[in-house]
C-alpha cells in the first residue's frame, strides 16, 4: 500500500516537471543581443550596429532605435532569418543601424531594452573607440580606407590674414554607380569669408569621374565641393567636417539573378575630417601708412575717354584694379584732383573669374569729371598698396599722371555746373536759351497762389512723397550695408518659398525631397534670422542657438522634434511615408516659423 502511494507521488512530480519545462523554455524563448562590425574606427568612418532578436516564437518583436549618444543615425534596415534544426523552428530578426561618430573618444553602446508581451529584455553593452580622422585603426588600415570615404584637401595649412585658402572635397568609391548626392552637413567655416568655386562636370551636368590609386588600391573619385576661403581673423581656426549621403547601386552576386538586373541600391553616409588652419597676422614691419588691408597680387591702370574738351563739359575717368585676391573688398583709391575740377561719386563694377580655382578679376571705378574753367589740368597718379602673401612684402602700384586740356566753354557762363548726380544727370549743358514770347490778352486780378487749395494739396503731397522717399532710401541703405538686417528681413519669405517647394514634393509623393526641403526651411530660417552661417545650424546645434536667443523651452523642443522627425524620415530606409504624417510635419514647421517671427530678440 505504501509502495502504491509512493508510485503516485513519483508520477505526480514527473508530470509537474514536464509541465514546467515548456514554461521555462518559454521564459527563455527570446534572446536580445547587439554586435558591431568594428570596435575601433575614425571620425571619417561609420559603424554598423546590429540588434538581433532571436527565439522560437513566430511573432518576434523588432528592435528600433531613435537616438544613440555621441553618434548620428544614418539609416536603419531590417532582415529576418528562419532555421529548422532537428525539427525545431527558430527565427531571428536583425536591425542594422549605420552610425556616424560625432567626436573622438571611448564610448559605450547599450545596453538597450526591448519590451514584448509584458516582459522586458535587456541586451549586452559594447565598447567602441573613435580616433581622429585619418588615424590607422588596425594593421589592415594601411592597405585602404574602405570602399567609400570622403577626403578633404587644402592647398596650405598656414596662411596670412585675408589670403585665399582652397578647400576641395573628393568622394572616393570602388567601381559601383553613385548617384543622388545629399549634402547632409556642410563644413562650418566660422572665421572665414567663403566663395564657392565650380567643380568639374561634363556636358550633361554630371560630376566628372577620374581614376585614383591610393596605397596600391584603385578607386574612382569625384570632386563634390570646392570652396575659396579668406580668413577674417588670426589664430588657430577649425574647418568643420562635411557629411555626405550617397545612393550606391551594388551589382547582385546571385548567379540566378537576371543578366539585366541592375542590382540593389544602398544609402552610404561618409564624413570628412576636420581641418586645422593657422592664420598669421600681416607683418607690422614695413607696413606703409596708406595700407587699407588689400591682400593678393594686383595691377592698376587709369585712362580718360578724352584728352581735350570744353570747360563745363564732362570727361570720364576709368580706374581698373586687376589681379587675384578678395576683389570684392578692394578699397577705393584716393582721388586727388585740381580744385577747379568737379568729381562725382564713382560707378563701381566687378568682374570675377573662378574658373582656375583662384579668385581673380577686375574692379572698376568710373568717375565723371567736369573742369570748370579752361586751362591745362593734371590728374595725379593713383596708388594701391597691398600685401603680397607669396613674397611676404608690401607693394605699391601706381598709375601714370593724366593731362587734360579744357578749352573755352560753350555755355558762355563759366559758373554753370551740376551740383549733384552722376553721368545721367549731366544732360542740359550747352543748350540754347529760348526767346521769351509775348502774349497779348486780358489781365485779371487773381488771389495769391498760396491761398489756393491746390497749392496746399501739392505741398502736403510733396511732404508725404519726400518722407516716403527718405524712409525708403534709409531702409534700402541699411539693407545694402547691413547683411544681418537684410537676411532677417528676407528670412520669412525664403522659408515660405521652401514650404511651397515642400508642398509640391508632398503632392508628388517625393518623401525624401519633402523632408529635406522642410528641414532646410527651418534651419535656414534660423540662420537668416540671427545672421549665422547656414552650415552651423543643424539638428544638433539648433537647441543651443535658440537657447542663446532666450527662446522658450517648449518652442525649442517643438523645433528640435520637427527637425529630428525630418532627418529620421530622410535617412531611414525607403518605405511608406503616410501623407497625413507629412502634412502634420509641414504644419508644425510652419507654426514654428510663425512663432519665431514674433520673437524679437
The answer to whether the 294-425 and 483-598 domains have the same CATH topology is: no
* Average pLDDT per block of 10 residues along the chain, 601 residues long: 54 54 50 87 81 77 78 74 62 81 88 83 89 58 64 93 94 75 85 90 80 83 92 92 80 48 68 91 92 94 94 93 93 89 91 91 94 92 95 94 90 51 47 46 57 73 78 66 75 89 88 85 86 74 81 84 79 64 89 83 56
Between CA 190 and CA 196, with CA 194 as vertex, the angle to 5 degrees is 140
Q: Which residues of 84-117 are buried (b: 16+ CB within 10 A; e: fewer)?
A: eeeeeebbebbbbbbbbbbebeebebbebebebe
State phi, psi for 29 to the nearest 5 degrees: -75, -20
**Is the peptide bond preceding residue 205 cis, with omega within 30 degrees of 0?**
no
Around Cβ 75, how many Cβ atoms within 10 Å? 20
Which residue, chain included where needed, has cell 532555421? 83
Question: What's the Cα-to-Cα distance from 177 to each of 181, 211, 246, 571, rounded to whole Å?
Answer: 12, 14, 10, 19
* DSSP element (H, E) containing 504: helix 483-507
Rounded Cα–Cα distance for residues 199 and 201 (Å): 6
Query: Which set of grid coordinates corresponds to residue 337?
Result: 584732383
Residues with Cβ within 8 Å of 322's Cβ and at least 6 positions away in sequence, in order, are: 298, 299, 300, 301, 361, 362, 363
Strand-pair partners of 386? 294, 395
SS3 439: coil
Q: From the centroid of its chain, how far is CA 398?
A: 39
CB 411 within 8 Å of CB 429 = yes
Distances (CA, A) of 328 to 51, 92, 270: 54, 62, 34
In contact, 402 and 317? CB cutoff 8 Å: yes
Give the three-state DSSP class for 326.
Answer: coil
| Residue 389, pLDDT score | 95
Residues found in the chain: 601
What is the per-residue pLDDT for 450?
Answer: 59
**Residue 152 CB: number of other CB atoms within 10 A?**
20
Distance, CA of 152 to CA of 223 (rounded, Å): 10
Helix (H) or strand (E) holding 383: strand 383-388
The whole-angstrom separation of Cα 337 and Cα 334 is 10
Asked if 247 and 269 touch (Cβ cutoff 8 Å), the reply is no
Give the up-direction half-sphere exposure of residue 514: CA atoms within 13 A in the CB hemisphere. Answer: 22
Q: What is the dihedral of CA 225, 229, 233, 239, to 10 degrees?
A: 20
Q: Helix, strand, coil shares of the chain as percentages rounded to 5?
A: 25, 35, 35
* CATH label, 294-425, candidates 2.60.40.10, 2.60.40.740, 3.30.70.3270, 2.40.50.140: 2.60.40.740
Residue 494's pLDDT is 87
Write down the pLDDT at residue 576: 59
pTM for this entry: 0.53
Name the architecture of domain 27-131: Sandwich (2.60)
Q: Do residues 228 and 166 touch, judged by C-beta distance below 8 A? A: yes
Q: Are 528 and 491 in contact (CB under 8 A)?
A: yes
Q: Which of 126, 160, 190 is nearest to 280 (CA)?
A: 160
Nearest to 544 by CA among 568, 560, 529: 560
- Residue range 483-598 forms a domain whose CATH class is mainly alpha
CA distance 5 to 552: 78
* Residue pair 231/192 in contact by the 8 Å Cβ criterion: yes
The three cell numbers locating residue 529: 534670422
Cell of 83: 532555421
**Local structure of 510: helix, strand or coil:** coil
Q: For the chain, how far is it from start to end, CA to CA, in angstroms?
A: 95
What are the angstrom distances between the C-alpha of 379 and each of 212, 304, 307, 318, 564?
57, 10, 11, 12, 64
Reported in sequence order, the residue ranges of 60-205 that DSSP labels E, i.e. its strands, are 71-85, 88-101, 105-109, 113-116, 119-122, 126-131, 148-154, 158-160, 165-173, 177-185, 192-196
User: What is the pairing mode between strands 88-101 and 71-85?
Assistant: antiparallel
How many Cβ atoms are within 10 Å of 147's Cβ, its own excluded?
A: 15
d(CA 60, CA 349): 69
Strands (E), 102-162: 105-109, 113-116, 119-122, 126-131, 148-154, 158-160
Report pLDDT for 572: 55
Please tell me what DSSP assigns to residue 304: E
Whether 421 contacts 314, CB under 8 Å: no
Distance CA 381, CA 512 (A): 60
Q: May I ask the CATH class of domain 144-280?
A: mainly beta
Radius of gyration of the chain (CA): 37
Q: How is the chain split into domains, by residue range? A: 27-131, 144-280, 294-425, 483-598
Amino acid at each position: 500500500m505504501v509502495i502504491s502511494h509512493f508510485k503516485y507521488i513519483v508520477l505526480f512530480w514527473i508530470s509537474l516537471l514536464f509541465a514546467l519545462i515548456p514554461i521555462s523554455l518559454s521564459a527563455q524563448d527570446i534572446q536580445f543581443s547587439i554586435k558591431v562590425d568594428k570596435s575601433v574606427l575614425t571620425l571619417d568612418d561609420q559603424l554598423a550596429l546590429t540588434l538581433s532578436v532571436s527565439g522560437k516564437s513566430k511573432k518576434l518583436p523588432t528592435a528600433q532605435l531613435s537616438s544613440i549618444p555621441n553618434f548620428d543615425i544614418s539609416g536603419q534596415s531590417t532582415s529576418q532569418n528562419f532555421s529548422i534544426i532537428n525539427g525545431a523552428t527558430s527565427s531571428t530578426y536583425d536591425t542594422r543601424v549605420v552610425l556616424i561618430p560625432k567626436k573622438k573618444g571611448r564610448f559605450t553602446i547599450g545596453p538597450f531594452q526591448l519590451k514584448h508581451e509584458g516582459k522586458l529584455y535587456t541586451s549586452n553593452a559594447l565598447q567602441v573607440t573613435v580616433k581622429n580622422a585619418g588615424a590607422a585603426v588596425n594593421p589592415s588600415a594601411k592597405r585602404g580606407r574602405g570602399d567609400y570615404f570622403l577626403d578633404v584637401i587644402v592647398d596650405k595649412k598656414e596662411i596670412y590674414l585675408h589670403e585665399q585658402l582652397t578647400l576641395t572635397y573628393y568622394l572616393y568609391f570602388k567601381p559601383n554607380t553613385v548617384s543622388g548626392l545629399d549634402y547632409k552637413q556642410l563644413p562650418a567655416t566660422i572665421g572665414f569669408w567663403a566663395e564657392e568655386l565650380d567643380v568639374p562636370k561634363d556636358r550633361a551636368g554630371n560630376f566628372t569621374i577620374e581614376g585614383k590609386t591610393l596605397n596600391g588600391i584603385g578607386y574612382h573619385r569625384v570632386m563634390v565641393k570646392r570652396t575659396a576661403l579668406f580668413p577674417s581673423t588670426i589664430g588657430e581656426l577649425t574647418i568643420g567636417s562635411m557629411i555626405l549621403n550617397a545612393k550606391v547601386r551594388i551589382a547582385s552576386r546571385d548567379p540566378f539573378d537576371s543578366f539585366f538586373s541592375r542590382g540593389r541600391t544602398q544609402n552610404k553616409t561618409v564624413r570628412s575630417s576636420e581641418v586645422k588652419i593657422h592664420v598669421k597676422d600681416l607683418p607690422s614691419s614695413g607696413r606703409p601708412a596708406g595700407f587699407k588691408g588689400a591682400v593678393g597680387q594686383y595691377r592698376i591702370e587709369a585712362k580718360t575717354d578724352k584728352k581735350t574738351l570744353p570747360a563745363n563739359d564732362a570727361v570720364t575717368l576709368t580706374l581698373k584694379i586687376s589681379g587675384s585676391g578678395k576683389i570684392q573688398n578692394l578699397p577705393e583709391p584716393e582721388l586727388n584732383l585740381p580744385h577747379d575740377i568737379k568729381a562725382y561719386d564713382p560707378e563701381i563694377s566687378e568682374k570675377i573669374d573662378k574658373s582656375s580655382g583662384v579668385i581673380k578679376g577686375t574692379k572698376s571705378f568710373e568717375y565723371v569729371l567736369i573742369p570748370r574753367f579752361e586751362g591745362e589740368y593734371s590728374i595725379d597718379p593713383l596708388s594701391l598698396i597691398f600685401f603680397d602673401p607669396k613674397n611676404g612684402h608690401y607693394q605699391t602700384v601706381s598709375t601714370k599722371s593724366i593731362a587734360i586740356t579744357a578749352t573755352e566753354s560753350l555755355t558762355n557762363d563759366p559758373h554753370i555746373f551740376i551740383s549733384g548726380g552722376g553721368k545721367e544727370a549731366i544732360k542740359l549743358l550747352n543748350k540754347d536759351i529760348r526767346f521769351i514770347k509775348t502774349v497779348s490778352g486780358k489781365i485779371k486780378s487773381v488771389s495769391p497762389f498760396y491761398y489756393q487749395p491746390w497749392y496746399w494739396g501739392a505741398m502736403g503731397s510733396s511732404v508725404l512723397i519726400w518722407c516716403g522717399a527718405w524712409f525708403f532710401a534709409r531702409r534700402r541703405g541699411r539693407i545694402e550695408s547691413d547683411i544681418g538686417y537684410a537676411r532677417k528681413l528676407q528670412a520669412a519669405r525664403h522659408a515660405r518659398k521652401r514650404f511651397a517647394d515642400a508642398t509640391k514634393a508632398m503632392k508628388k509623393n517625393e518623401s525624401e525631397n519633402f523632408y529635406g526641403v522642410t528641414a532646410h526651411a527651418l534651419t535656414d530660417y534660423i540662420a537668416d534670422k540671427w545672421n549665422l552661417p547656414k552650415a552651423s545650424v543643424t539638428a544638433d546645434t539648433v537647441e543651443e542657438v535658440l537657447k542663446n536667443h532666450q527662446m522658450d523651452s517648449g518652442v525649442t523642443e517643438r523645433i528640435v522634434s520637427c527637425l529630428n522627425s525630418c532627418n529620421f524620415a530622410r535617412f531611414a530606409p525607403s518605405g511608406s511615408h503616410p501623407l497625413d504624417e507629412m502634412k502634420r510635419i509641414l504644419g508644425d514647421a510652419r507654426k514654428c516659423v510663425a512663432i519665431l517671427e514674433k520673437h524679437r530678440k
